[in-house]
Structure 1
Amino acid sequence: MIAILMTVLVKPGKAERFAELVTQLRQDVHANEPDTLVFEVLRDRDDGNRFHFAEVFADEDAKERHANMDYHLAMSDEGWACLAEDPVIRECDPLGSFARMGAMQ
């Protein structure tokens, strides 16, 4: 399993559009990627322009498939253009197992 924690800071005035893009992405991932075990996006309570992503993939192939899905590629340019700076990305090793995503609606 591969876990990724990513934090992004969005440009002022772009947070709502970014939230729309990643909310749709989350729905697409949950509907179409069984080997993406967790894909959640959280908006920071202290800074509404900061978003945190938690992603867990069954393996490297699942991570690559996720990055290359049509819906992911379609939103990427607009999503990246919303960012104020480079994202902070950490790859992590899970200490336990994850159930299939979907509990949060």
Structure 2
Amino acid sequence: MAPIQLTAIITPKPGKAERFLELFNMCAQYVQANEPYVHRYELHRGIKDLNDGKEQFVVLEGYDDQEALDKHMKCPPVLVMLEALEKEQLMDIQLIRTAASPGIKSRI
């Protein structure tokens, strides 16, 4: 199967950014320790002063295939995060599935 790449643009509701970061960190720690089929799980925080004062995050995720993504979405911390996102109405999110395109891969 083909690799899966996801990009999420996240805009937290006012006062909810730290709660989102807490949940994301919990997921990231779990991914690092338990999910070798997740090859990218990065969070980038927007610079408020350069983004009209808006708090925003970009999350970049990469999975071996659809099966890996499905498995990740069922792991305990992700389920906790999804429940919190719904109950606490933490943010607006735009999710984009991407494929490899022309350009330069990270040289880091």
* Shorter-chain TM-score tier: 0.7 to 0.9
Report the Cα offset of residue 95 of structure 1.
Answer: 5.1
- Report the equivalent of 2:13: 11
Report the Cα offset of residue 75 of structure 1.
Answer: 2.0
* TM-score, reference length from structure 2: 0.78
CA contact (8 A) 1:15 1:48 kept: no
One-letter code aligned to 2:99: D
* TM-score, reference length from structure 1: 0.80
CA distance in 2, matches of 1:73, 1:79: 10
Task: Tell me the matched-pair count.
Answer: 96
Tell me if 1:23 matches 2:25.
Answer: yes
CA distance in 1, matches of 2:30, 2:85: 15
- Report the equivalent of 1:76: 82
Where 1:65 maps in the other structure, the secondary structure is: helix
CA distance in 2, matches of 1:65, 1:72: 10
Deviations 1:27-57 (A, max 9, x none): 1111111101101111111356211110000
CA contact (8 A) 2:5 2:98 kept: yes
Aligned identity (percent) is 27
- Quickly say closer, same or farther: Cα 1:48–1:20, change in 2 above 3 A: farther
- Report the equivalent of 2:69: 63
- Report the equivalent of 1:44: 46
Structure 2 unmatched ranges of 5 or more:
none
Structure 1 unmatched ranges of 5 or more:
none
